[in-house]
Structure 1
Amino acid sequence: MSILEQLVQVLGDSEGDGNPLLWRPHIPNSIDSKPLATSPSELFWDFPYDRLPENQVIAFFMRPETMFGLALFYLVSKEPLRWFRDAICFNPKSETFTNFVALHNLALAVFSAVTVWNSWGVVFAHLLAQGWIPTYCDLEWTSWNSGIGAWTTIFYISKYYEFFDTWILVLKGKKPSFLQVYHHTGIVFCMWGGTVSQSAWLLFIVLLNSIIHTFMYTYFFIKTLYPNIEIKSAKHLTMAQIGQLAIGISFSFGYVALGDSCSTPASRLTILFMQIYGFSLVALFVAFANRKYKKKTA
């Protein structure tokens, strides 16, 4: 089976739980549907390559070298892209490029909205059927295998496509902020670690971040087509970003407090990284909001 056929199979194979309003793609993260990593060592030097899923598309993104390699490529790609832009005298105001940027933002807005609908639906269905603790802790991975794991995996992989946000800025002749580069780099590590350990805490990232991204990329889509339009509510997106980070961090402390009764050591290690990353993002977003919006109101 070709790589393209495997990708189509993943996106088209639904669990079929009888609810026609929810799409639950079948995306196994391992050959036995159990976490690839349950101990910290399995996240790195003892990674179980022999248990990677048969689908090579998913297996590729589960590998630690893929995550580290693509993150490194993203970090070093900006200067070569600037050189290429200058070498070909790239015109960022061309209609073709503007349409590409608009479609990029529209695609991410629609994708985020689809993720909102399906991930929230799957989580609510599991809450009603199993209750709060089995959904929050999910040590038997019933919630993960009921559909939230599939949407978490798709959401994780989409973070690599979001690298285009930075590359678009470079092609426009703008300098990406430290906040943006740090944001895009850190999230792939946290999402990868949570996905290979099938961490239940990821559901908060998927549920909240998909809502923010729906509005954010819709805003970018409108501003791409109508750059002179003023959208006064834009500042609320930054506050919403800060809010979703604060909520996610708050809910993550329960996994640490409950220990092995609620999460695996590998999952808790990724929580530690996520908390450090989350707190630093809150500080960066607050500083960004103070610089951008206080100037306008002064």
Structure 2
Amino acid sequence: MDVLSAKLATASPRFRATLASLENFGTPPQPDGIIFPQLYYFFLHPWTPIVFAIVYFFTTKYLSANSDGKNRITGKRWKVVVVMHNLFLAVYSAWTFVSAAPLIFSAFARSYVADGLTGLTHTFCDSSLAFWSNNTFSRVAYLFYLSKFYEVVDTAIILAKGKRVGMLQSYHHAGAVISMGYAFRSMSMPAWIFVVFNSAIHSIMYLYYVASACHLPFPIFLKKNLTRLQITQFLVGGSLAVSYLFIALPNTRPAHLQEALAPLFCDMTHALGSSTLNVTSLEFAAREQLVEARVGGSCLVTPNQRLAVWINVLYLIPLTYLFLSFFINSYRKSAIGQGQLKSSPTETKSVKAE
């Protein structure tokens, strides 16, 4: 992508910083309102998620293989700790979904209404960097990436209970850290799929864990279909992610795209000595320059963005297989259990008769 710095001098600081990072394959500008801001560049180092995932995976396998089966977290206090862990992740996942989904889907809808399929495609590909230069979206995506580090506490709880950790659990957590890390670092637009879909499923899943631990009622439909929902997430999300590799932006420029995406633009009132209306028009003009430069080009503009998509897709293929195997095995066990229940009245009668 051509360097547009001179043409974009009137744009907001965050937009200019985001564009510069994209052009130079650098780290995205740090969002406001994140936790541990001093560690931002450490977590976005290319080796951080890889090293963490490798250490986590092999440590888990070693501890699992040498487990003595003894439950080390018995008692009410530990139960409270486990419940609070699950409750935190349920609430956090719901917050992530509520923060990201309306932002993204409303932008898709406004773009389609304003410019039809052309506008929707440009927004789907974030051709004007409306999403990645938006502080809310980048903050939510970054915190979601950090949450993948914290989620390995699930594995620690399983090990502390003296249980073995299967390949599904260890592969799931290790791959999620790498996949989301590279998606965020490269500012790859398919990251929204991971954020929205996964946060929706996790809000349900962790709420179920809380309800189960506290012996509270939980919707039977959701309980029975959690694994189905996860598999659907992988199939639909993976297909959407792959589509980014093949989509090309339309050859026509959307006429009303910037007006449709105006709610996403940040830093509109930076110090230019102009009125807010003037600043907004300058921001629109700057983003129009970028959109015009990208007309007819690829949806993904850098090798790093394409690499992030491939990492995600290659991660999802084995993960979907593992979940399908888990689902089939669980279904078989359920069918066997129901068969035993059906035969139990006859067996009971024969025992009583004797």
Q: TM-score, normalised by structure 1?
A: 0.77
Q: Is the 8 A contact 1:135 1:200 kept in 2?
A: no
Choose from 202, 225, 229 the match for 1:240: 229
CA distance in 1, matches of 2:57, 2:303: 29
Per-residue CA shift, 1:65-94, capped at 9, x if unaligned? 3212322332243378679997xx873222
Q: What is the CA distance between 1:280 and its match in structure 2?
A: 1.3
Q: Secondary structure at the match of 1:145?
A: coil
Choose from 130, 144, 151 the match for 2:132: 144
Q: Is the 8 A contact 2:97 2:199 kept in 1?
A: yes
Q: Is the 8 A contact 1:81 1:167 kept in 2?
A: no
Q: Is the 8 A contact 1:31 1:52 kept in 2?
A: no
Per-residue CA shift, 1:221-248, capped at 9, x if unaligned? 1122239999574230000000011111
Aligned residues: 260
CA distance in 1, matches of 2:101, 2:55: 33
In structure 1, the partner of 2:121 is: 133
Per-residue CA shift, 1:28-86, capped at 9, x if unaligned? 8x9923475669xx6xxxxx57x875942322211123212322332243378679997
Q: What is the CA distance between 1:128 and its match in structure 2?
A: 4.1
Q: Secondary structure at the match of 1:140?
A: coil
In structure 2, the partner of 1:182 is: 171
Q: What is the CA distance between 1:153 and its match in structure 2?
A: 1.1
In structure 1, the partner of 2:299 is: 262
In structure 2, the partner of 1:5 is: none
Structural mapping, 1:216-295, within 5 Å: 216-226=205-215, 233-258=222-247, 261-263=298-300, 264-295=302-333
Distance change >3 Å, CA 284–CA 82, structure 1 → 2: closer
In structure 2, the partner of 1:96 is: 77
Q: Is the 8 A contact 1:212 1:240 kept in 2?
A: yes
Runs (5+) with no aligned partner, structure 1? 1-27, 43-47
233-242 vs 166-175, greater mean Cα deviation: 233-242
Q: Is the 8 A contact 2:148 2:176 kept in 1?
A: yes
Q: Is 1:32 matched with 2:21?
A: no
Per-residue CA shift, 1:277-298, capped at 9, x if unaligned? 1121111111000111221123
Choose from 63, 68, 77 the match for 2:50: 68
Distance change >3 Å, CA 286–CA 83, structure 1 → 2: closer
Q: Is 1:192 matched with 2:189?
A: no
Q: Is the 8 A contact 2:64 2:164 kept in 1?
A: no
Distance change >3 Å, CA 275–CA 84, structure 1 → 2: closer
Choose from 204, 209, 213 the match for 2:198: 209
CA distance in 2, matches of 1:113, 1:32: 30
The code of the aligned residue for 2:88 comes to: A
Q: Which has the higher contact order (CA 8 A, sep 6+)?
A: 2
CA distance in 1, matches of 2:62, 2:169: 18
In structure 2, the partner of 1:115 is: 96
Distance change >3 Å, CA 250–CA 83, structure 1 → 2: closer
Q: TM-score, normalised by structure 2?
A: 0.66
CA distance in 1, matches of 2:316, 2:20: 24
Runs (5+) with no aligned partner, structure 2? 1-13, 32-36, 112-118, 249-296, 337-354
In structure 1, the partner of 2:345 is: none
Structural mapping, 1:151-162, within 5 Å: 151-162=140-151
The code of the aligned residue for 1:203 comes to: W
Structure 1 or 2, whichever has the larger Rg, is 2
Q: Secondary structure at the match of 1:143?
A: coil
Distance change >3 Å, CA 31–CA 93, structure 1 → 2: farther
Distance change >3 Å, CA 82–CA 227, structure 1 → 2: farther
Q: What is the CA distance between 1:95 and its match in structure 2?
A: 1.2
**What is the identity percentage for the equivalent residue pairs of Structure 1 and Structure 2?**
30
CA distance in 2, matches of 1:83, 1:281: 21
